[in-house]
C-alpha cells in the first residue's frame, strides 16, 4: 500500500542549486559564531547543545571518556561522566569544524540541512530556511535548555 503524500505540493519549485549554495555559504559564515552550551546528561551519554545567537541549532553527541565528539547517528555509551571542561573541549571542536559543501532538502520541514564535520565525522546538521537566507533554530532543543536553565 503506498503512503499518502503528506504535502499538497512537491518541493521541486522550492529547490534549486543557488538556494542550496546560499544555505551552505550562510552556515560557513555563521560557524565561527557557534558556541557550546551546557552539557545535557542523558542516560546513554552526553549531549552538548550548539548555540547560535542564543538559540540551539543542533546537539553534538560527545564521548567524555575519549574526549571527542561522536558522529551523527552513533549510539552513545553510558557510564558515569565528569562534565568538567566539556564546554571548552567542544569549543575547540567547533573551532576545527568545517561546513561540507552540500545541502540536503527536507520537504517535511521545508528547509535545507547543511552538514558540519569535525575530521571525518559529521557532528551537527544545521537547518537553513528554504530560500537559503536564515538559520532555523532547533526549537525543541532550545526549549529543553531553557526549561532546565542550562
* pLDDT digit string, tens, across residues 7-47: 445 556 667 899 999 999 999 999 999 999 999 887 777 89
Q: Which residue has the cell 576545527?
A: 96
Q: CA 12, 141, 95 angle in degrees (round to 5)? A: 85
Residue among 142, 132, 38 nearest 88 (CA):
38
Cα–Cα dist 105/128, whole Å: 9
Cα–Cα dist 117/144, whole Å: 24
Would you state the pLDDT for residue 2?
A: 47
Domain boundaries, the chain: 14-147
Regarding predicted confidence, which is higher, 5 or 57? Answer: 57
* pLDDT digit string, tens, across residues 108-142: 899 999 999 999 999 999 999 999 999 999 999 99
Would you state the pLDDT for residue 5?
A: 42
Amino acid at each position: 500500500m503506498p503512503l499518502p503524500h503528506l504535502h499538497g505540493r512537491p518541493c521541486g519549485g522550492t529547490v534549486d542549486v543557488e538556494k542550496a549554495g546560499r544555505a551552505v555559504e550562510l552556515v560557513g559564515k555563521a560557524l565561527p559564531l557557534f558556541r557550546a552550551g551546557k552539557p545535557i546528561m542523558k542516560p546513554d551519554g552526553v549531549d552538548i547543545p550548539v548555540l547560535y545567537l542564543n538559540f540551539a541549532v543542533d546537539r553534538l553527541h560527545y564521548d567524555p571518556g575519549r574526549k571527542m565528539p561522536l558522529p551523527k547517528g552513533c549510539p552513545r555509551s553510558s557510564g558515569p561522566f565528569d562534565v568538567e571542561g566539556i564546554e571548552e573541549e567542544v569549543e575547540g571542536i567547533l573551532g576545527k569544524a568545517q561546513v561540507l559543501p552540500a545541502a540536503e532538502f527536507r520537504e517535511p520541514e521545508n528547509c535545507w540541512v547543511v552538514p558540519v564535520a569535525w575530521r571525518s565525522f559529521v557532528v551537527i546538521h544545521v537547518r537553513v530556511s528554504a530560500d537559503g537566507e536564515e538559520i532555523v533554530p532547533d526549537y525543541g532543543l532550545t526549549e529543553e535548555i531553557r526549561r532546565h536553565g542550562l
